[in-house]
Structure 1
């Protein structure tokens, strides 16, 4: 089961706002894709939250775009910033990236973002959103959301 960003924000508005804030704190983040041989590839990436979608834009024929065309599964890690004191904790999003072919949709994205042309554009379908943080300098807390389920909170000393 997958859902887009709008469905996630409707289901879990507080967690979604925190995740967007963490991604908004920095320009560059880390995308993990799968190479042809199944091994992981990590690369830098800028992301956009627009019109209820999480968008991934990429240079033409970049290896990460070719990876996603072959196997749409991805994991996206927000830039943690300097040190470990970043407010909001660590956030990750996993899902599937679907390439956008519709010229009208791409034109709308271009109007908002003004990316270098040409480019690949992918919209995302989420399979998991995870936030981890330290509470009271004692507990490692993980909040895990999956489509169709409420957020689960796990705490470890």
Structure 2
């Protein structure tokens, strides 16, 4: 699976990346899917951080979702649908791999920058797929991006 950093995605498709980021920043909590030891899905809440040109996933030390990502870094992230599931701004999903930050100096600097005390797990998102689904007029529009493929737009009545 090919993956890119948020910065590489933003460089390749700045308008689409800005739309996706705006959608995630609209609400504080989102939904993260990881894989359990037995391969079944685990779905949990998560706050995401866009900082230093990257998408970061932070979680409590020893949490099940952190242990899942340490064992198998694949994830899917779904933006909060909003009040009454309005999907204002569209339905946005990101899939990829989570790369854990283990350098103590880097963690301390990140902790100081966001004002959240250590300890916590910190993962940098490497993107393999970004999708936004929304309604435009009478059509459902699905816009997706994959590394090396650019943005593809499909429309359905």
Instruction: Give the TM-score normalised by structure 2.
Output: 0.95
| Kept in 1: contact 2:27–2:80 (CA 8 A) | yes
2:84 match: secondary structure: coil
Partner in structure 1 of residue 15 of structure 2: 14
Q: Which runs of 4+ in 1 moved over 6 A?
A: none
Q: How many residues align structurally?
A: 156
Deviations 1:9-58 (A, max 9, x none): 00111111111111111110000000111110000000001011110011
RMSD: 1.1
Q: Which 5+ residue runs of structure 2 have no aligned equivalent? A: none
For 1:111-150, what aligned pairs fall within 5 Å after superposition? Answer: 111-136=112-137, 138-150=138-150
Question: Which residue is 1:36 aligned to?
Answer: 37
1:8-157 matches, within 5 Å, as 8-136=9-137, 138-157=138-157
* Bigger mean CA offset, 30-39 vs 105-114: 105-114
Distance 1:116 1:108, change over 3 A: closer
What's the TM-score once normalised by structure 1's chain length? 0.95
- Structure 1: any 5+ residue segments left out of the alignment? none
- Structure 1: distance between partners of 2:30 and 2:86: 17
Within 2, Cα distance between the matches of 1:43 and 1:141? Answer: 27
Instruction: Say which SS state the counterpart of residue 107 (structure 1) adopts.
Output: helix
Do the aligned partners of 2:47 and 2:57 also contact (CA within 8 Å) in 1? yes
